[in-house]
Structure 1
Amino acid sequence: MRASGTKRPAAASLATLAVLIAAAVGCQSGGGETAPSPSRSTPSTTSSGPRAHVLAVKIDNVGPARPQTGLDKADIVYVEQVEAGLSRILAAYSSRMPPVVGPVRSARETDLELLRQFDRPTLAFSGAQAKLLPAIEAAPLNPLPPTADPGAYFRGSDRAAPHNLYLRPGKTPHATTGVNAAEDIGLRFAAPPPGGRPLAGHTVRYPAARFAFTWSADRHRWLVDMDGTPARTSDGARLGAADVIVQYVTVHPSLYQDRWGSTSPYTETVGSGSALVLRNGKGYDVRWSRPTADSTTSFTTPDGKRMTFAPGQVWIVFASK
C-alpha cells in the first residue's frame, strides 16, 4: 500500500493514449521506451519571492554511463534503486546550469511523486515505459523528452547507445530563477546543530549497486565512490557532496515493468521515518517527515529542531528500511 497522499496514475481515455503514442513515435530510449509530448508553464512567485524553477534530469548510473557530465553542478542529487537492484540518479538544477548534462535516461514512477515538492519543475528524460506515459502527462510538471525538443538533445560519440544521450539546458525553453532548489524545499544552510558523532565515512548498498561517502577534511566534502570506484566528473575531478542524507524509506514493486519484464521498484517518499545526515565529518541521526505528496520533506533532530546543512551540493540517497 502506498503512503497517504500518493496517487495512482489515472486511467487515460483511448483518445489520450492515441495522442501520446503518436507523439512518442520516432523516439526510443535505451530500451525502446517512448516519450510523451511537452507542456509549458512559467515560474510562479510567493510572498517571499520567486520559487526555484527546477530542471530535473534523469541520469544514467551504470558503469558504461560514467563519468557523468554536469552532475557536479546540481543543487540536489537524488539516488534511487531501479530494476535489477541497480541505481539511477535524478539531478535537480536551479541555482546554476551546466552547458551539458547526461547521459539522460528514462523516467520512473518514483520521480513523479518526488518532484511534487517543487513548483511545476521541468523533467528531462529519454523516455518512459508506455503505461507510465499518461501518469507523466497528468503530473504537475513540464515533461521534456527528446520528442518535445529534439534540438536540445544530442548523441555523444565517446560511448555506445543508450549511454550517450545528452541535454543542453541552454537550448531548452526552461527558464531558471537562480534560487537554490534545496532551499526552495526547506533545507536550511546554517551553522551545524549541537551533537552528532564523528564519522569518517558511510556506505549505502543496493542489491547490485554501492555508494560510499568518505569525509575529506582538506576538501570539506564527502567524496563519492560508486561500486568501489572513485566517482569523477567528465573532466576528471572528484565528485563530492557538502551534505549527504541517507533517507530510510519503503521500497516495493510498482505497477510497471521494463522491456525485459523486470518490475520497477517504487520508492515511497511520502510518510515519515529515520535518516542519517552526514555533515562536516559527523553523522546526525534525524527524522524525516512528508505528510502528503504536495508537501516538502522536513528533517528534524531528536529535540525536534530543524536539521541544518553545510552550503553546497546535497545528495539524498534513498535506502530501504
Structure 2
Amino acid sequence: MGRQRGTRGRHAATTAALLAATVTAALTAGCTGGGGPGDDGRRSARESEQGTSPSATGASVLAVKLDNAAAARPHTGVDAADVVYAEQVEGGLSRLMAVYATQLPKTVGPVRSARESDLELLRQFDRPTLAFSGAQKKLLPLIDRAPLRAETPGSAPDAYSRGSGKPAPHNLYLRPERLIPEAPGQAALTTGFRYGTAPSGGTATTSQTVRYPAARFTFTWSDSRDRWLVGMDGAPATTADGKRMAAATVVVQYVKVRESAFRDFLGNNTPYTETVGSGKATVLRDGRAHAVNWKRADATDGTAFTTGDGTPVNFAKGQVWVVYAKAS
C-alpha cells in the first residue's frame, strides 16, 4: 500500500546543532538509557526549519516506545493503542511500541529509548510523532534525518513526568495531549491491515507462545471476551488499573533479526528487526490460527498479509498485536 511522499526538509548541519548533539550525547545513557527530562535536549533541525512547536497538531499517528522489563509493569495506556508492536532488544529482552490513531489515553508509559529498527517500521506512516526517552548517541543523527517528529523529555518537558510507584528508569510517563491535542483518526493507520470477515480455514488454537532469548509472550483465547489475553514472561499482562491486556488479532510475524551497528552501554549488540521484505506469519483471530504470507516491498508501504493463493487476510476489529519473531 505505497504512498507518494511529500518533499521532506533537509537536515541542517549548523554549529548550533552540533553543539546540541554534544549536549545530548552527554545526557543520554546509551541504547538502554531511559533518563528523565533532559536526557535528549534537542529538537531536530528539521523541526526548527519547519517551525513546528511541540504542541502542534500531529498529521499522523503517535508512536510511543515502551519499557517492557518486569520492573516496568503494569503498563499504563497500552489498552487504548490501535496497534502494539513487540520486538527483541539487547540481552534477548523485549520492548513495545504502542501506536495511537483513533483515541489518546490520558497517560502512557513507562516510556523508554528508541532503536534503529523503529525508523524503518515508522516509515509506513506519514511523518508520525515518535515519543521516546533517549537513544544511543550515534543513533541520534539518524533519528534527526528520519521523516518523523521526535519528542523526548528534553524537547517537550511538560509532556513527561516521573511516577512514584516504580524506580527510575521504569517510571517515566507521557501525557499524549501535550504532544498532539487530538487523535488523528483511523485514516492515519496506514499499516496495510485489512479488517472484515475472518478468512476460511485455519486451525483451532487456544494458546500460542512466542519466545525470545530472555522474554516470552503468550496469547490465550478467551471465548467470553472474544479476545486473545496477553501474557508476558509466564504471568498475565494487566494494565495499571488491573484490566487484562487483550487483542482482537495477534500477528506473529517471522522476520530477519540481525546485528546492528549499535551497542548499549554494557557492550551488548542491539538487534535490528527487518520489517521490509517478505516471509511467513501466523494470524490469530476468533480462536483460530492462520498460516499466511506477509510482504512489505518498501519502507513507505504498509504490510500485506495474504493466504497461499494471494487472498488478503482480514483482521478482527479492535487492537492488533504484532510480535516480531526471528525466522528460522
State if a TM-score over 0.5 links the two structures: yes
Q: In 2, distance between residues paired with 1:32 and 1:210?
A: 22
Q: In 2, distance between residues paired with 1:176 and 1:218?
A: 30
Contact preservation (8 Å) 2:34, 2:113: no
Shift in Å at residue 32 of structure 1? Answer: 6.8
Contact preservation (8 Å) 1:270, 1:292: yes
| Offset from partner CA, 1:220-247 (integer Å, 9 cap, x none) | 0000100000000100010000000000
1:107 and 2:109 are equivalent in the alignment: no
Q: In 1, distance between residues paired with 2:210 and 2:188?
A: 24
Contact preservation (8 Å) 2:28, 2:135: no
Q: Secondary structure at the match of 1:136?
A: helix
Q: Which runs of 5+ in 1 are unaligned?
A: 1-9, 45-52
Q: In 1, distance between residues paired with 2:174 and 2:23?
A: 23
Partner of 1:288: 294
1:235 and 2:241 are equivalent in the alignment: yes
1:172 and 2:179 are equivalent in the alignment: yes
Q: In 1, distance between residues paired with 2:197 and 2:76?
A: 31
The residue type paired with residue 299 of structure 1 is: F
Contact preservation (8 Å) 1:276, 1:283: yes
Within 5 Å, give how 1:25-36 maps onto structure 2.
31=33, 34-35=39-40, 36=42
Contact preservation (8 Å) 1:127, 1:145: yes
Pick aligned residue for 2:309 from 293, 303, 314? 303
Per the normalisation by structure 2, the TM-score is: 0.87
Q: In 2, distance between residues paired with 1:303 and 1:155?
A: 51
Q: Secondary structure at the match of 1:159?
A: coil
Contact preservation (8 Å) 1:12, 1:134: no
Within 5 Å, give how 1:66-77 maps onto structure 2.
66-77=73-84
Structure 1, 165-174 or 142-151: larger mean CA deviation: 165-174
Q: In 2, distance between residues paired with 1:173 and 1:236?
A: 27
Contact preservation (8 Å) 1:116, 1:294: yes
Q: In 1, distance between residues paired with 2:304 and 2:237?
A: 28
The residue type paired with residue 297 of structure 2 is: P
Structure-2 change in CA distance of 1:176 and 1:232 (3 Å): same
Shift in Å at residue 293 of structure 1? Answer: 1.4
Q: In 1, distance between residues paired with 2:180 and 2:285?
A: 36
Q: Secondary structure at the match of 2:123?
A: helix
| Offset from partner CA, 1:4-43 (integer Å, 9 cap, x none) | xxxxxx9996844333233566566863774242523766
**Identical aligned pairs, as a percentage?**
54
| Offset from partner CA, 1:53-98 (integer Å, 9 cap, x none) | 2000000001000000000000000000000000000000010000
Within 5 Å, give how 1:7-26 maps onto structure 2.
15=15, 16-22=17-23
Per the normalisation by structure 1, the TM-score is: 0.89
Shift in Å at residue 195 of structure 1? Answer: 1.1
1:138 and 2:137 are equivalent in the alignment: no
Contact preservation (8 Å) 2:33, 2:134: no
Q: Secondary structure at the match of 1:114?
A: helix
1:206 and 2:212 are equivalent in the alignment: yes
Q: Secondary structure at the match of 1:61?
A: coil
Q: Which runs of 5+ in 2 are unaligned?
A: 1-9
Contact preservation (8 Å) 1:122, 1:174: no
Q: Secondary structure at the match of 2:87?
A: strand
Q: In 1, distance between residues paired with 2:208 and 2:188?
A: 25
Partner of 2:61: 54
Structure-2 change in CA distance of 1:207 and 1:12 (3 Å): farther
Partner of 1:84: 91
1:119 and 2:121 are equivalent in the alignment: no
Within 5 Å, give how 1:147-166 maps onto structure 2.
147-166=154-173
Partner of 1:320: 326
Q: In 1, distance between residues paired with 2:228 and 2:65?
A: 22
Q: In 2, distance between residues paired with 1:212 and 1:131?
A: 34
Q: In 2, distance between residues paired with 1:27 and 1:164?
A: 17
* Matched residues, number: 303
Q: In 2, distance between residues paired with 1:262 and 1:276?
A: 30
Q: In 1, distance between residues paired with 2:148 and 2:139?
A: 14
- Over the residues paired in the alignment, what is the CA RMSD in angstroms? 2.2
Structure-2 change in CA distance of 1:319 and 1:307 (3 Å): same
Q: In 2, distance between residues paired with 1:186 and 1:136?
A: 24
Partner of 2:3: none
